[in-house]
Amino acid sequence: MSASLFDQLISLSAGVLLLTSVLLVWKRSLIAAVRLLALQGAALAAMVAVIGVFESDLELLAVAGLVLLLKGFVLPFVLDRSRVRTGAVREETPLMNTTSSLLVLSLLTMLAYLVSQPWLALDPGPTTAAVPVGISLVLYGFLILTTRRHAISQLVGFLVLDNGIATVAFLTSGGVPFVVELGASLDVLLVVLILRVLGGRITDEFGGAYLDELTELRD
Amino acid sequence: MTLVLGGLLAQLALTCVAVAAAVFVVPKRRALVAGAAVVGIAMAGAVTGVFALSGGHGSLTVPMTLPLGPVVLAPDRLGGFFMVVAGLVGAVATLYGIGYVRGPAASRTSWSAMALFLLALQMVPAAADAVSFLLCWELMAVASTVLLLADHARRAPVRSAALWYAAMTHFSFVMLLLGFAVLAAAGDGTGFAAMARVPADSGAASVAFVLLIVGFASKAGIVPLHVWLPRAHPEAPSHVSAVMSAAMVKMGVYGALLVSIRLLPGGPAWWGLLLIALGAVSALYGILQASVATDLKRMLAYSTSENIGLMYLALGAGLLLRSYGVTEPADSAIAACLLLVVGHAAFKTTLFLGAGSILHATGERDLDRLGGLGARMPVTSAAFGIGALGAAALPITSGFVAEWALLQSLIHAPATQDRLVAVVMPVAVAVVALTAGLALMAFVKAYGIAFLARPRGEGAAAAHESGLGMRVAMGISASTVVVLGLAPGPVARAAAAAADLSGVGAVGWWGIDLFGIDALLDPVALTVLAVALAVPVVLVSARLARRQPRRRVDLTWGCGGVRLSPRMQYTATSYAEPLSRVFDDALRPERDVLVTHAGESRYLVERVQFQQNVGDIVETTAYRPGIRWMDRVGVLARHLQNGSIHRYLAYAFVALLAVLVVVSL
Amino acid sequence: MNIGAAILATVQVTAMVILSPILVGLMRQVRARMEGRVGAGVLQPWRDLRKLFAKESLQAQGTSWVMSLGPVVLVASSALVCVLVPLVGTVTFPLIPDDLFVMVSVLLIGTVALALIGLDSGSAFGGMGSSRHMTIAALVEPTVLVAVYALSIPVGSSSLSLIVDARLLDPASVASPVSLLALVALFIAVVAETGRMPVDNPSTHLELTMIHEAMVLESSGRDLAWLELGSWMRLGALLGLVGSLLVPWGIAGDVTPLTLLVGLLMLIVKLAVLGSALAAGEVFLAKLRLFRVPELLAGSFVLAFLAVTASYFVVQG
Amino acid sequence: MTVLVLFPLVACLALAVSTAYWRTPILCRFSGLIAAATVTVSGIALSGVVLNGSTLTAGGLLRVDALSAFMLTVVGAVGLTATWGGLPTRSAPATSWTYSALVTLFLGAMSLAVLSDNLGVLWIAVEATTIATAFLVGHHGTRRSLEAAWKYVVLGSVGVAIAFLGLVLLYAATVAAGRPTLSWIVLTQGHLPLDPSLLKVAGALAVLGFATKAGLAPMHSWLPDAHSQAPAPVSGLMSGVLLSVAFYAILRVQAVVNPVLGPGLMRGLLLTAGLLSLAVAAGLIIAQRDLKRMLAYSSIEHMGLLALAAAIGGTLAIAAALLHVLGHGLAKSSLFVVSGRILAVEGTTQIAGIRGLLTRRPAVAVPYLAGMAALLGLPPFSLFFSEVAIVIAGFQAGLGWAMAVAVGLLLVLFAGLARHSANMTLGQDSATPADLTRLDPTPHGPQLPLLLALGVTAVIGFATGPLSTLLTQAASLLVGAP
């Protein structure tokens, strides 16, 4: 694979990542959110695969497969199941309206670029050029977590954040050691499963999955 | 193994014995056995103090887990002086306690705490480095709090008293910690030897001095940090209040001496002024409150804060004069400070033990319900009387000698050198004088109301003399008051040795001689003269008495007709009424008079109800608002954790953004 | 030295025992004459004493040993004061310097004895008198001590005899503003301490205004006699003190019959003059309300305080 | 030796699996206790092995040095206190197998965290503790415990994810330095030419992330809810060691970052976090209404102190911090156990609802008061010495102002805690009906573990030769001194 092609592919997938997460902040439909998440996972897997092919690194290809399986299929599936269980189709009235969310989004992106100056300075290249995307994903994820009231949205936010971290990991260093990657993914999976179970119970107990009703524990 | 080391070890060993006895001996004999062991601790402490005071050396090193430098107990002469005081007070008070304690105050916990309390109390002056000092200091605080809590189940005020005490004593600990930490950083070491290397004119020294003095002052009950004192002393068992007031509070004075003489000698003049100001304020405020107080033990507590004030004033005068390089008056002032320490220890122990017997016999602390105890409890009456004379600084008691020395050193200040001194010294003299006058009034009131005339309440009427042990203890401490008043010379010598003072010594029959400022006082000679003058008077009286024996009559004259009921006597409240009017602004007493008219008449009065309550103005104006403010802060702070997960996530998000901004700048 | 001091002491004490009732008599007489009464004569107090000593003394129910011991203590303390104050001469025991602080505290012993007697009687009046008495004593204390301070500054010692000697050597110092201020302050303090007008009216018969009289209201017979004698001796000694500070001349520097005689005569003269002056003053004064007394004492304190600071700045030049 | 390193992990895993498989009442009742005992024993054994300053490694991912051995011992000891003291009384319903298995796993995860040399594995272990405790927090299944569990998991894993980002960046830095690794030994002793600007971001993020688990403000919000809702022994474990394990991770990261960047960055972060935590704890304890929440905030307070100690650095401060970890762990777990008993016998943890405990239930109140005395830093308990040492070290490091602020806040905390404790234990509430005021001498649970825990806390301040060498060695490992 030629360097130019590699560049284009990396930038393409990075673009897809960014686009999907912006859409995630934009749209309120939970169904769409799950689909976008799956798409994002696929894009991430593709990026990993591209790097793997480019560096002809089999382990990385295996990781790509793992990522595709986990983030492209399993997690979205789990997410959709619990969405169906809570019976919600869209996020009603988030704490921050869409317009201002998008404005904040742009600010966060700028911060992301500011933060990733060191890498761009360290070795300019397509992968490092895409690092800000990863960091922006982390920040977007956090934004979603803080502003969305529905349990599913929070899960989405958490996963976006996780995707961001993974992106940074692959772009900066071609992934952390395999053991760690494995463990980390497993952890994420378990967390999501736990949250799903808890979300289910909350739906039963509170008759809904809107988290701002969880304010019994306070001082 | 030197004598001092032996003494220290003996105290530790005896403490183990005492705790074991307190825990394992059956309740019937517990007081006797454990009490005996505790007396042993105290005596061991006193003896160790004597060894150290007479120049003996010896150190006990305590190993520590943390690399904090050596932690050593090694009393020097000054420490020895205070060990003696603490030990003797502890011994007498415990002897008294053996007969006094009952109920929860006689429990395992209380006796063990008593042992630890005395141990810590005697180890504080022995500490030779900051960490062990703080350790003993806190142990002392903890043990005394436990003792204070003895009656928590029966009387509600105990809890609040303990809380006030705990908070203030922890405040003092915190201040000491900061102060010592400053010195440790500046002198590069937690040992007192290392700290003494810090130059007294450095900024660090001044910061440390202020911090430490504030810390010690709050332990010493100096106004405005005294608020715990009038609460804790009344609620504690009387023998404990005796130790607290006569020995523990003194550690605040020891600390002040430690800082200003041993650690940071030769400080600037304003250090002295600070101490004088603190001392003057608390002397006046304390004695004013004492002279209007009607609760006996509360009054004694306030008088403690007055006496400590005088000690701080004396020390401050000493520092001030030293900073002007005039040695002799300075040294006699410091000697006066130490004499005050000893004197106050003696008479305050006596007074608290006496108050304990009254409480024990009548169940009353309120002077307005006492009276006529002189006939019912002669020994207590005599002891308390002697103690009161001491507190009123009349000859021939320990209190008088100390105040005399203080006044002498004040008027011998060569104020001509400096206008500051020329203004400060007269004020100091005036303060001491007014304090002495009011003390006279306060203790005449206390003794006269409690012991003379007729009982004002059933409790007083049914009073009985207390048990043998208690009487012996009171006898010992009362006679100490007189002995110290008759023979101040040895004490003066000891003081001179403790703080190596020049121009202070003894003369004639154990008289005190401040030859540095050529003033001498020989109480024995004075007494002899007085007796010589009194003899003829007594003889004449005796002859007349033989000719005309005294005739007992029914009642005092009741303006014709009306038989005087005991309730017509002057009470403590009415006794202090003129004074509380004179000092209205300083005391702000709350009076309310309720007049009930007979029927329609505007002139015929059926009954008049008078009620007066003198609160602690410092507490009401400074502490209460502070506490309220803190509570408000607490209620407001609840909004931080209002349960919204989004808010919590926002905290984290903001933190993340902040960190990112910081690192990328 | 001891012998001389002992002789002088005896002389002073006996002199005051004899003279102080006469002094009081004189003062009463002066008042009486100025008020246009005949008066009972100068020796009346002595007659009263004789009568009282002959009478039996009563002890009411509920009163204690204080009633009987207190008077003795009062007299003894007054006698001790008479020894400590340089009235006739300035010779002192080497071990008992006539230290002003000691003298004041001995005076206070008497004060306390009186106050306790008042309380012990158990009647409302006794307590009232005692309370007022102690309040005034407490407030007088600063004035006295600061005045002492002021007087001691030029000498550098609080020993009375030294102060008086210094004044003998340097008569100018007597008239110096410092010493005048101090003396006025001291005089007011003496008036308050001995319960004269305008602080207390010694010849009142209205219990509610009494201070000193209220305390001794319950004492009778020899107790009362001792009490009266003791307080008269206090008055005499204090007036004598003011006298020898104001007019130090004639006081005996050593113990010889001649000097003693001169000293004694001078003392009598001083006492007579001061006493009649005081009495004459009292005629024109009305008793102050009890709660106005602090103002008077505050005034005297200010004088004493000024004396001290002034003396410093005078010495500073 | 390798066996010894692996032993606690394997044992915990085996116990958990067998508990989950057989579910015999004995296992359900005792597996947590056995696991804790195992960890303690192996911790002490390992301390003995590494006391000479050596370092054991096993399988490239595990490593035992003085610090790990000490922390392992702490995990074991606190676990022992919590599980033993928390043993349900005979009358109480039998323990469910999930509970025991999860507790055992929890202990195993913490042991793995302190034993792992690879920072990635350390992170995995920390995250694993979240997973293990999630259902423990929600164990009661009430609305409140569900809420607490949700908040705990979301806030916890989000925070720890940040730490992962930090580690990823750290790894990237090593890649850029030409020697990709996450091994702590290599990072500290390999003298890698790490790029400072990269390391700055990495270190800051890692510390921020682990601070979440360590309960440092402003990332602390999960803590009071989780601690107040979890069963008493679990609260004890979380507050006693989980926080300390996270703090241990911070220490490790700090040791990697400081040699390259100098202490400035970490000091700034930790000072802020520490003072903020103290302030938050102080503010919320003053008017606190719930006993367990009060204890939780006091944990935040002590973590704040530890953060300050880490910020100060230097052998004395770090050694003091480690001693503080041990003392606080023991005291706090005992207190949570007692709070569990209070809840059991009084039926509430509302401070206002608990009165006159010392007169009515001395066997419960006395351990409570002793533990509270330890927490308040009163002698002879070791927390007194560690606090004094931290303050003195702070002044010697020129951080006097921070120490002054901190000590002031500690004073407020002292007043608050003392007030609430006194209101609960002292005095005799006249309002309580007669049947409540009857004296109840039963301790409602084994007293021995509490006695042991508090006794140890009381003596470890003094003469303890091996412990003090262990502490100094652990400290010098991090400080890089001698």
In chain D, what are the domain boundaries?
Answer: 1-117, 141-227+245-262, 268-482
Average pLDDT over residues C285-293: 83
- Of the residues B61, B62, B64, B66, the best mutation for testing chain D's interface (the one with the most D CB atoms within 10 Å of its CB) is B66
**Contact yes or no for B214/B242 (Cβ under 8 A):** no
CB contact under 8 A, A122 and D198: yes
pLDDT of residue D305: 97
User: Where is average pLDDT lowest: A168-182, B200-214, D379-393?
Assistant: A168-182
- The two tokens of residue D293 are 């929440």
Q: Which residue has the tokens 């004296």?
A: D439
Q: Which residues of B touch A114 (CB under 8 A)?
A: 660-661, 664
Structural domains of chain A, count = 1
CA distance D268 to chain A (A): 19
Of all residues in chain C, the one with the smallest CA distance to B385 is: C116
What is the percent of chain C where pLDDT is above 90? 46
pLDDT of residue C171: 82
pLDDT of residue D481: 46
CB contact under 8 A, A195 and D228: no
Q: What is the CA radius of gyration of chain A?
A: 18
CA distance A138 to A157: 9
**Is A218 part of any domain?**
no
For residue D191, the 8-state DSSP code is: -
Which positions 557-616 of B are in contact with C (Cβ < 8 Å)? Answer: 557-558, 564, 566, 568-570, 574-579, 581-582
Q: Which residues of B touch D423 (CB under 8 A)?
A: 159
**Could you tell me which residues come within 8 angstroms of residue B483 by beta carbon, excluding any fewer than 6 positions away?**
none
Structural domains of chain C, count = 1
For residue D86, the 8-state DSSP code is: T
Mapping DSSP onto H, E and C, the string for chain C reads CHHHHHHHHHHHHHHHHHHHHHHHHHHHHHHHHHCCCCCCCCCHHHHHHHHHHHCCCEEECCCCCHHHHHHHHHHHHHHHHHHHCCCCECCCECCECCEHHHHHHHHHHHHHHHHHHHHHCCCHHHHHHHHHHHHHHHHHHHHHHHHHHHHHHHHCCCEHHHHHHHHHHCCHHHHCHHHHHHHHHHHHHHHHHCCCCCCCCCCCCCHHHCCHHHHCCCCCHHHHHHHHHHHHHHHHHHHHHHHHHHCCCCCECCCCHHHHHHHHHHHHHHHHHHHHHHHHHHHCCCCCCHHHHHHHHHHHHHHHHHHHHHHHHHHHC
CB contact under 8 A, B630 and D412: yes
CA distance B267 to B206: 8
Of all residues in chain D, the one with the smallest CA distance to B648 is: D221
Average pLDDT over residues A127-137: 87
CB contact under 8 A, A168 and D148: no
User: Coil, strand, or helix at residue B60?
Assistant: strand
Residue type at C178?
Answer: V
Burial tier of B188 (Cβ tally within 10 Å: 0-12, 13-18, 19+):
middle
Asked if the model's pLDDT at residue B232 lies above 90, the reply is yes
**Contact yes or no for B127/B82 (Cβ under 8 A):** no
**Contact yes or no for B187/B267 (Cβ under 8 A):** no
Asked if the model's pLDDT at residue D435 lies above 60, the reply is no
Backbone angles phi and psi of B521, in degrees to 5: -145, 125
**Is A58 part of any domain?**
yes
pLDDT digits 0-9 by tens, B305-327: 999 999 999 999 999 999 988 88
- Of the residues C308, C314, C316, the best mutation for testing chain B's interface (the one with the most B CB atoms within 10 Å of its CB) is C308
Query: Looking at chain B, which subunits does it touch, using at least 3 CB pairs closer than 8 Å as the criterion?
Result: A, C, D
Asked if the model's pLDDT at residue C317 lies above 50, the reply is no
Better-predicted residue by pLDDT, A181 or B345: B345
Helix pair angle (D66-85, D243-261), 10° resolution: 160
pLDDT digits 0-9 by tens, B484-508: 999 999 999 999 999 999 888 888 7
CA distance A81 to B284: 80
Quote the domain boundaries for residue C206: 2-139+200-285
CB contact under 8 A, D180 and A173: yes
Per-residue burial over D379-408, b = 16 or more CB atoms within 10 Å of its CB, e = otherwise: bbbbbbbbbbbbbbbbbbbebbebbbbbbe
Largest CA distance in chain D: 76
Q: Does D138 touch chain A (CB under 8 A)?
A: yes
CA distance D357 to D345: 11
pLDDT of residue D434: 52
CA distance B177 to chain D (A): 7
Q: Residue C222 is nearest to which of B394, B436, B544, comparing CB atoms?
A: B544
Burial tier of D245 (Cβ tally within 10 Å: 0-12, 13-18, 19+):
buried
- The two tokens of residue C298 are 């505050």
pLDDT of residue B415: 65
Of all residues in chain D, the one with the smallest CA distance to A141 is: D158
How confident is residue C198, by pLDDT bands cut at 50, 70 and 90?
confident
User: Where is average pLDDT lowest: B5-9, B195-199, D91-95?
Assistant: D91-95
Q: Residue D168 is nearest to which of A117, A165, A195, comparing CB atoms?
A: A165
What integer best gives the mean pLDDT of chain B? Answer: 92
pLDDT digits 0-9 by tens, C25-41: 999 999 999 999 998 99
Average pLDDT over residues C120-130: 87
**Could you tell me which residues come within 8 angstroms of residue B607 by beta carbon, excluding any fewer than 6 positions away?**
B595, B596
Query: Looking at chain A, which subunits does it touch, using at least 3 CB pairs closer than 8 Å as the criterion?
Result: B, D
**Contact yes or no for D251/D162 (Cβ under 8 A):** no
**Is A120 part of any domain?**
yes
Cis amide prior to B396 (ω within 30 degrees): yes
Helix pair angle (C66-84, C100-120), 10° resolution: 160
The Cα-based distances of B95 to A78, A184, B466, D283 in angstroms read 79, 71, 13, 46
pLDDT digits 0-9 by tens, D255-283: 999 999 988 999 999 999 999 999 999 99
- The two tokens of residue B571 are 């009470």
How confident is residue C316, by pLDDT bands cut at 50, 70 and 90?
very low
Residue D244's H or E segment, with its range, is helix D243-261
CA distance B46 to B39: 10
Closest of B326, B338, B333, B347 to residue B390, by C-alpha? B347
Average pLDDT over residues B151-167: 91
pLDDT digits 0-9 by tens, D345-378: 888 999 998 988 898 888 999 999 999 999 999 9
Asked if the model's pLDDT at residue C186 lies above 80, the reply is yes
Per-residue burial over C149-164, b = 16 or more CB atoms within 10 Å of its CB, e = otherwise: bbbbbbbebbbbbbbb
Of all residues in chain C, the one with the smallest CA distance to B461 is: C62
pLDDT digits 0-9 by tens, D309-333: 999 999 999 999 999 999 999 999 9
Average pLDDT over residues B79-86: 96
Q: How many CB atoms lie within 10 A of CB B210?
A: 16
Asked if the model's pLDDT at residue A97 lies above 80, the reply is yes
Q: Give residue B279's Cα distance to chain centre.
A: 13
Average pLDDT over residues C257-264: 92
Whether C contacts B, i.e. 3 or more CB pairs less than 8 A apart, is: yes
pLDDT digits 0-9 by tens, B622-649: 999 999 999 999 999 999 999 899 999 9
Q: Which residue has the tokens 């301390």?
A: D47
Asked if the model's pLDDT at residue A120 lies above 50, the reply is yes
DSSP letters, B122-179, are HHTTTB-BHHHHHHHHHHHHHHHHHHHGGGTTT-THHHHHHHHHHHHHHHHHHHHHHH
User: Coil, strand, or helix at residue D27?
Assistant: helix
pLDDT of residue D298: 96
User: Among the residues of B363-487, which ranges form H helices?
Assistant: 373-376, 378-391, 398-411, 419-451, 458-461, 468-486
pLDDT digits 0-9 by tens, C71-84: 999 999 999 999 99
pLDDT digits 0-9 by tens, D113-164: 999 999 999 999 999 999 999 989 988 888 899 999 999 999 999 999 999 9
Which positions 94-133 of D are in contact with A (Cβ < 8 Å)? Answer: 118, 120-121, 123-124, 127-128, 130-131
Q: Which residues of A touch D128 (CB under 8 A)?
A: 187
Residues making up chain D, counted from first to last: 482
**Is A219 part of any domain?**
no
Which positions 627-646 of B are in contact with A (Cβ < 8 Å)? Answer: 637-638, 640-646
Of all residues in chain A, the one with the smallest CA distance to D181 is: A177
For residue B519, the 8-state DSSP code is: E
- The two tokens of residue B640 are 């931080």
Residue type at B567?
Answer: R
How confident is residue B596, by pLDDT bands cut at 50, 70 and 90?
confident
**Could you tell me which residues come within 8 angstroms of residue A56 by beta carbon, excluding any fewer than 6 positions away?**
none
